[in-house]
Amino acid sequence: MKKKVTKAIFPVAGMGTRFLPATKSVPKEIMTLVDKPLVQYAIDEAREAGIKEFIFVTSRGKGALEDYFDHAPQLEQSLRKSGKTELLDTLKSTNMDSGAIAYIRQHKALGLGHA
């Protein structure tokens, strides 16, 4: 009996020291590559592979990561009102349904095995 993988774990708790000084104020996962944050490329690839549930092992200062995947009703309403449907579609592709994403805080930097 074959079981399909439907969950992915993203260990993103690191401090991003390779990208200093930018990561002093912006989590490394949210840094953009061309027009999307790095984490969006990972999520898109995982979705294409059939992943339905996403777990992020985070640390202090990763609130922007949670905000990125959250719905932004005021922004959506503004784009809809302005007739910017293409931007609205792009924005909606970043939304994650409740229950499809979870965040777990790693309190001590003890490596990937600990995460």
Stated pTM of the model = 0.80
Residue 108 reports pLDDT greater than 70: yes
pLDDT in tens, 54-75: 999 988 888 888 888 888 889 8
Q: Tell me the torsion sign for CA atoms 32, 111, 48, 77.
A: negative
Each domain of the chain, given as residue ranges in start order, spans 7-105
**What type of residue sits at position 110?**
L
d(CA 101, CA 7): 10
DSSP E strand stretches across the chain: 7-11, 32-33, 36-37, 53-58, 101-105
Looking up tokens 């592979």, which residue turns up? 49
pLDDT tens, position by position, 9-52: 999 888 888 889 988 888 888 888 888 899 999 999 999 999 99
**Identity of the residue numbered 26:** V
7-105 CATH pick, 3.90.550.10, 3.90.180.10, 3.20.20.70, 3.40.50.970: 3.90.550.10
Residue 112's pLDDT band (cuts 50, 70, 90): low
CB 40, CB 23: distance < 8 Å: no
Reply yes or no on whether the pLDDT at 111 is more than 70. no
